[in-house]
Amino acid sequence: MRLIDENGTQVGIIGIREALALAEERGYDLVEVAPNAVPPVCRLLDYGKFRYEQSQKEREARRNQKQADLKQIRLMPKTAEHDITTKANQAKKFLLQGDKVKFNVRFRGREMAHPDIGRKMLEDIAEQLRDIAVVEQKPLLEGRVLSLLLAPNPKVLKAAQQAQKEKARLARTQGLAEERPASTALPEAEEELDEETDLQEEELDDEDDLQDEMLDDEELEVDDFDDEDDQDLRPRARK
């Protein structure tokens, strides 16, 4: 077999036992990646991590892939030409979004005697939309309903999927942009809190200074009182 190591470097053509021993020595799994090659190609990798990454890629691809919806448009054999054009333009919008469109012409009473009118109507619609749509089901009469199924052609479908991916990307970008202001609001709040704390500390310092001054005044009064006491306690001169 041809062996590729965990870094993507070709080790060369070696035997199965040597490859297994090397895989066990390095702590990786030996996985056959190209069984039909001559000789078969194997690789050293963490198989659990590899499967997890593959599942994440598949999930992301399914998320970005637009699921085609089936839009139905009703017609009557007596539908006016202007209304047919309007409904064809409506179907065009659906097709450009990647959806399938089913036209249903419903017959009532004696209208069933002229199904060719509805068939001609559906063929004209298919001709109007042939640049962006392909016919998946030709006009088919089921009971009293004549149906035509159109699907977007590969080019239109690819463009619709690309637009869907771009829309999802913009949505993710916008979501991240909306989260950023919330994270930047915290420093501002902390800054306001710091300013408020500084202000409170300044007020406390002013109060402490005021208390110190009051204490100094009290000490001064005490000193004055002590001086007066000392004077009272001094022996008076005898007359």
The pLDDT of residue 122 is 94
SS3 135: strand
Beta bridge partners of 3: 12, 42
Coil, strand, or helix at residue 93? Answer: helix
Residue 178's SS3 state is helix
Consecutive H or E run containing 60 = helix 47-64
Give the per-residue pLDDT at 33. 86
pLDDT reported for residue 215 = 47
Instruction: Please choose, from the candidates 68, 95, 77, the residue with its C-alpha nearest in 3D space to the C-alpha of residue 139.
Output: 77
Task: Pick out the chain residues at pLDDT < 70.
Answer: 63-68, 175-239
Fill in the DSSP letter of residue 8: S
* Domains of the chain from N-terminus onward: 2-49 (3.10.20.80), 70-158 (3.30.110.10)
Q: What is the pLDDT of residue 233?
A: 43
Q: What is the pLDDT of residue 146?
A: 94
